[in-house]
């Protein structure tokens, strides 16, 4: 049997369609993640606040205490002792985790340098959900830090412009006055006028 003209047969090539071919919605890729939004491992939480609120993690301190700056650190004690108001550094997830773990009864009476080493090992062995929880706490802490220590907009430039002396404005002379008094004309106008008259009079 001869094949119709215009149709070529290619070897080892087969065309087929899967049963789900017509259902195109199953093959749509999900939306890409937003670059400025933290990745949340808990599907039932949309914000950092909801993630912390829905968490069953047992903290050794209150969440409100952890997301605010420490009042017992050497930096805070130095500020109170010297009467200064230096802005502390922002907290990250590791700092908040260490603050929470350091007040645990198991570290009572342990020197600070040994506490940091032990807590660092605990941090490396934590679950992803726990690390993500403290990262959410760190983002909340940064928001509070910005609200508390954000500098107020300065009005110095506005005051400088307001107090800047206004230059004196010279009176505007009319064209009739300048024509009547040629001596009051500007030098370059007098020069051009003299050339004009000298050209036609000579």
**Residue 160 within a domain:** no
Which tokens is 187 given?
């030098």
**How many domains is the chain partitioned into structurally?**
1
**Residue 186 within a domain:** no
**Residue 23 within a domain:** no
**Residue 188 within a domain:** no
pLDDT one digit per residue (tens) for the chain, 202 residues? 555 565 555 555 555 555 554 555 555 555 665 555 544 444 456 799 999 999 999 999 999 999 988 766 666 566 667 776 777 788 999 999 999 999 999 999 899 889 999 999 999 999 999 999 999 999 999 999 898 887 766 655 555 555 655 555 555 444 445 455 555 555 544 545 555 445 445 5
Q: Tell me the Ramachandran region of residue 128: left when phi exceeds 0, alpha when psi lies from -120 to 50, beta otherwise.
A: alpha
Give pTM, 2 decimals.
Answer: 0.52
Interval 121-146: pLDDT, tens: 999 999 999 999 999 999 999 999 89
Residue 135 CB burial class (10 angstroms; 0-12, 13-18, ≥19): buried
**Residue 161 within a domain:** no
| Domain, as residue range, for 81 | 40-148
**Residue 16 within a domain:** no
Which tokens is 135 given?
């990262």
Residue closest to 86 by CA, chosen among 68, 69, 99, 98: 69
**Residue 200 within a domain:** no
**Residue 105 within a domain:** yes
């Amino acid at each position: 049997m001869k094949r119709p003209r215009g149709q070529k047969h290619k070897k080892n090539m087969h065309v087929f369609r899967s049963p789900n071919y017509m259902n195109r919605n199953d093959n749509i890729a999900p939306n890409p993640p937003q670059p400025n939004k933290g990745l949340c491992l808990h599907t039932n939480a949309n914000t950092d606040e909801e993630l912390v609120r829905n968490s069953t993690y047992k903290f050794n301190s209150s969440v409100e205490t952890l997301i605010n700056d420490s009042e017992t650190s050497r930096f805070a004690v130095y500020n109170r002792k010297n009467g200064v108001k230096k802005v502390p550094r922002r907290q990250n997830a590791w700092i908040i985790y260490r603050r929470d773990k350091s007040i645990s009864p198991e570290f009572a009476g342990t020197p600070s340098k040994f506490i940091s080493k032990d807590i660092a090992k605990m941090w490396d062995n934590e679950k992803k959900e726990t690390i993500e929880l403290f990262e959410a706490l760190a983002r909340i802490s940064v928001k509070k830090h910005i609200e508390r220590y954000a500098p107020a907009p300065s009005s110095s430039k506005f005051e400088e412009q307001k107090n800047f002396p206004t230059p004196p404005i010279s009176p505007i002379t009319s064209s009739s006055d300048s024509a009547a008094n040629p001596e009051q004309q500007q030098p370059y106008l007098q020069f051009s006028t003299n050339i004009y008259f000298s050209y036609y009079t000579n």
